[in-house]
Amino acid sequence: MTIKEVSEKFDISQDTLRYYERVGMIPPVTRTASGIRDYQEKDLGWVELAKCMRSAGLPVEAMIEYVKLTQEGDSTIPARLQLLTEQRETLLEQKAKIDTTLERLNYKIGRYEIAVKTGVLTWNDEE
Amino acid sequence: MTIKEVSEKFDISQDTLRYYERVGMIPPVTRTASGIRDYQEKDLGWVELAKCMRSAGLPVEAMIEYVKLTQEGDSTIPARLQLLTEQRETLLEQKAKIDTTLERLNYKIGRYEIAVKTGVLTWNDEE
DNA sequence: TCTTGACTTAGAGTTAACTCCAGAGTTTAT
DNA sequence: ATAAACTCTGGAGTTAACTCTAAGTCAAGA
């Protein structure tokens, strides 16, 4: 699969795909004899994982570390377990913050909906 | 309340507090006669709101727009309602992405825990 | 009053994560 | 076989959101 096809399949720019590989966020991609990227199933798996992690907001740095550990063999399994557990923790924290903010937004939206419907502001404290 | 006290109360650096005010993410803070910031209750409310929105990952730009609208009076209430509704939507989307990634992490973590306990890798596909 | 520490602004610097560009090599269609 | 389209690398540029610095002003204690 060419970089163009992968780019379209995952909606990630070609530049970003090259960037991910360059910084080590995914392992080196399979190449043709002339040096052109030819993504195999395993490469696609890494791209998909990278996209998933990034879309949740996990730092590129964490994926780089994870990829590095996987390249070093089975002895790094405990380290990988710890890394993933830490990332899970940050996602749970982030989710909690989002929930707090969502409640805040819901409250405000409710107030504004009443204001729009009735033409009257029903509160006077902080906006 | 001085900027130092506000900084400690909300765990936001003084530089960031000045930055938020400078770009309009919070309205101008009350000042003493000599021009030193003296945060009132209403100012603290804005700081707290700003911190809440930012911690959830909402862009500074959105808060700037919201603050601008509130300064323009009641005629902007429908616009504010729309802005908040859009921000809520992006938070819900972000939360969904986090949930997807959490499932992925939970799966991997489960596998690695087994591998650590038994000393045997029980899978062979993408890492 | 002096000095020490907190505060001010304007503007430059930093970091993460891309994004773009130039110049060169490769593949495809006519 | 030659143009058009695609890909390559190295490196520079961009954006968001801070973060720091310099040079000056202000305030509280000895």
Domain ranges of chain B: 3-71
B-chain CB neighbours of A78 within 8 Å are 116
Tell me the per-residue pLDDT of B20-32, one tens digit each, with 9 for 90 and over.
999 999 999 999 9
Q: How far lies A49's CA from each of A104, B49, B55, in Å? A: 32, 34, 25
Q: Span A32-59, mean pLDDT?
A: 98
User: Is the pTM higher than 0.95?
Assistant: no
B84 closest CB neighbour out of A48, A57, A105:
A105
Residue B118 approaches strand D within 7 Å at CB: no
Structure tokens at B56: 């959830």
Q: Please give the torsion angle defined by the CA atoms of residues A82, A51, B84 and B44, in that order, rounded to the nearest 10 degrees.
A: 40
Tell me the per-residue pLDDT of B82-110, one tens digit each, with 9 for 90 and over.
999 999 999 999 999 999 999 999 999 99
Confidence band for B124, pLDDT divided at 50, 70 and 90: low
Tell me the per-residue pLDDT of A68-96, one tens digit each, with 9 for 90 and over.
999 999 999 999 999 999 999 999 999 99
Residue B42 CA to residue A47 CA, distance in Å, equals: 47
What number does CATH give the domain B3-71?
Answer: 1.10.1660.10
Residue A16 approaches strand D within 7 Å at CB: no
Nearest protein residue, CA measured to C1' of C20: A15
Contact A84 B112 (CB under 8 A): yes
Report the distance from CA of residue A51 to the C1' of nucleotide C20 in Å, as an integer. 21
A-chain CB neighbours of B87 within 8 Å are 105
Provide the mean pLDDT of chain A.
Answer: 95
Residue A13 approaches strand C within 7 Å at CB: yes
Q: How far lies B86's CA from each of A57, A123, A126, B15, B91, in Å? A: 19, 22, 20, 29, 9
Report residues 51-110 of B contacting strand D, contact meaning Cβ closer than 7 Å.
54, 59-61
Residue A35 approaches strand C within 7 Å at CB: yes
